Amino acid sequence: MWVQEVTSVSELTQDFEIDLYVNEFWEDPALDYEQLYPCNRNLSFDHSMQESIWIPNTCFINSKKALIHSS
């Protein structure tokens, strides 16, 4: 995580706005299919598999507002 820009600071309300870049990476051992397909680095699944994959719920404690942009 790094701060890209401090966009505003209010001494009166003690608020500030920043643009952050956050990159998350995790490995789920339950999704390790290397032993089944040792030569294939990419696998495709149908949409029913999407429901069983855990995705972290990232949050910023005590934030007033957060906007998420994905690339």
User: pLDDT digit string (tens) for 10-60?
Assistant: 999 999 999 999 988 888 887 777 777 677 777 777 888 778 888 888 888
pLDDT at 51: 80
Model-level pTM?
0.55
Angle subtended at Cα 30 by Cα 24 and Cα 35, rounded to the nearest 5 degrees: 110
pLDDT at 58: 84
Secondary structure of residue 15 in the 3-state scheme: strand
Closest by Cα among 67, 55, 68 to 25: 55
pLDDT at 19: 94
**Residue 9 pLDDT level (bands cut at 50, 70, 90):** very high
Longest dimension (CA), the chain: 60
pLDDT at 17: 95
In the chain, the number of structural domains is 1
Domain that holds residue 46: 1-71
